[in-house]
Amino acid sequence: MRLLIQRVTEAAVHIGGRKKNSIKEGMLVLVGIEEADNEEDITFLCKKTVNLRIFDDENGIMNRSILETGGDIMVISQFTLHASTKKGNRPSYIRAAKPEISIPLYEQFCSTLSEMLQKPVATGEFGADMQVELVNDGPVTIWIDSKNRE
């Protein structure tokens, strides 16, 4: 499972020209799921996400987690995080999990993250054509892959 986390001052997701969800200060989390992912990956990444110290403290140093700031999280599914560009110019998405595997894992990821955050997380719609807008704060962008823990 792969995450691309962006610290944002605001983010929104639109589907079919209508705003589905939006957040103010917090994190936009793009999630890519592969066939080998499981509950252990979800737990690891959710803990990492809510404890990631990427928010400024009173001295302007990134030393606070989203749990400490009370910020919001928006989670968007994005199979393209598993794109392979090793061969040719057209990315291959063969490592991305099929919907029958990825939908339950995505839903579990959102639920677990919400429990750890102690409030609901905003989401898009799995598999939909979404337009995501954000203001990246910093910019701060963090890449985490649950298969590269060491």
DSSP 128: S
Q: Cβ(53)–Cβ(31) under 8 Å?
A: no
User: Is 80 a catalytic site residue?
Assistant: yes
CA–CA–CA angle 133, 93, 11 (5° rounding) = 10
User: Furthest-apart CA pair in the chain: how many Å?
Assistant: 48
d(CA 52, CA 57): 13
* Catalytic hit among 6, 49, 79, 109: 79
User: Is 55 a catalytic site residue?
Assistant: no
* Catalytic hit among 49, 78, 112, 123: 78
User: Is 109 a catalytic site residue?
Assistant: no
Catalytic residues: 78-80
